Amino acid sequence: MLKEGLEKQEILKILDEKLKSDYSYKSGSILGSMCTEPLAIAVEVYMKYVAKNLGDPGLFLGTADLEKELVTEIGELFRGKKIIGTFTTGGSEANLIAMRIAKKLRPDIAYPEVVVPYSAHLSFDKAADLLGIKLRKAKLHDNFELDLDHFNSLINNNTCGVVGIAGTTSLGLIDPIEDIGKLIEGKNIFFHVDAAFGGFILPFLKELNYPVPAWDFSVNSVDSITADPHKMGLGIIPSGGFFLRDPSILQKTGFEIPYLAGGNFKHFHIVGTRSGGTVIAFWVILKSLGFNGFLEIVKNCMDNTRYLTQRINEIKGVKLATNPTINIVGITTENKENICKIDEELRKRNWMIGKFEDFNLIRVVIMPHVQKTHLQNFTDDLEKILKKLKIS
């Protein structure tokens, strides 16, 4: 540590130099991330309220009320009534909260199990590890859709929870949430939907007349939903969201902290101190964009998704892993050539995409920062690479 502090200008100069190797959303090279540049007004407001701590809501009563208001509003967007919930550090924490609830609600099960699709995000493996839950992974069909029969075969007397995904990490697919609901009817099994990515795109896609199967609280058996502001919500990193239908579950399973200013309140959080600024910023995003503002952003992402889809269909040597449902495009090789070589070459040219080796695909996420010109340059480079590797 320095003995004497430096001048601001000098610090900022050093910092600029040190952060030079970071990629930026604006450059277009970040094509595989589910995060994006937050809305400008959210950044401004976040900076103003950066010291708000919702870990001690008794000190920040206004912020705590605002969080409740926001949860109710999002609950309605997800077609629920009087939904409760809370904002988290991201989808991983929200999924961990859901898995913990599933286990807590079934103290009668000595060796609890949760059934998830094979395509479930790694956060479920982490949660299972931390909570001592056995994760049972249901197979996918060749077209990457969930094998519902296999899912059903994994449900047994030890099952305390099941998970469906609305917007899978690899391909953006929506699991058959209604069908999963039917499998657990009358069985006292907690049903969580991971819409970490899909949550802030699916309500708008539906309005734009894209085919969107029921995935939210309109499905009676859905107990909780993860949906993250820091993905398609254009929120500040880190901000995730956990939404829950039955408020009595908070009383039954919440943690208590008896010594804080706000008195004894129950909460689900794994963390203690947590940002109020990110929550305030998301409240501002909803007020600033409104439903129609989101519609416009989503429409633009989907137009660009269509453009990329068309280009991939034209390029020899690669093909779509599946027809995109949302703004995620999976690209695989036509003749089962290993995708890793292509990914490596793309990275050399500064295209930062996602790679899913088990599915032999690369993933492009068409976030709001991705522009058509980026996709033009990307596909031009992809064509050159395929020629060089003699794949086309």
Of the pair 54, 386, the CB lying nearest ligand 0PR is at: 54
Closer residue to ligand 0PR (CB): 33 or 288: 33
Nearer to ligand 0PR, 64 or 353 (CB): 353
Compute the least distance from the CB of residue 39 to ligand 0PR, in Å.
17
Cis peptide leading into residue 238 (ω within 30°) = yes
Looking at the Cβ atoms of 103 and 121, the one nearer to ligand 0PR is: 121
Closest approach of ligand 0PR to the CB of residue 167, in Å: 6
Task: Report d(CA 100, CA 230) in Å as an integer.
Answer: 23
Give residues with Cβ within 8 angstroms of 310, minimum separation 6. Answer: none
Least distance from ligand 0PR to the Cβ atom of residue 237, Å: 8
Pick from 126, 65, 116: nearest CA to 92: 126
Q: In terms of CB distance, is 35 or 289 closer to ligand 0PR?
A: 35
Residue whose CB is less far from ligand 0PR, 34 or 249: 34
Nearer to ligand 0PR, 121 or 369 (CB): 121
Distance between CA atoms of residues 306 and 300, nearest Å: 10
Number of Cβ within 10 Å of residue 7's Cβ equals 8
Minimum distance from residue 278 beta carbon to ligand 0PR (Å): 12
Angle at 88 between CA 140 and CA 124, to 5 degrees: 25
Q: How far is the CB of 36 from ligand 0PR (least distance, A)?
A: 9
What residues make contact with ligand 0PR under the rule CB under 6 A?
33-35, 90-92, 95, 121, 123, 165, 167, 169, 194, 196-197, 228, 240, 354
Write the CB contacts of 171 (distance below 8 Å, at least 6 apart in sequence): 119, 144, 321, 322, 324, 325, 328, 330, 359, 361, 363
For tokens 């295209």, what's the residue? 351
Q: How far is the CB of 121 from ligand 0PR (least distance, A)?
A: 4
Q: How many residues does the chain have?
A: 392
E runs forming strands in 130-251: 134-138, 159-165, 190-194, 224-226, 240-244
Smallest distance, Å, CB 270 to ligand 0PR? 12
- What is the maximal distance between C-alpha atoms in the chain? 67
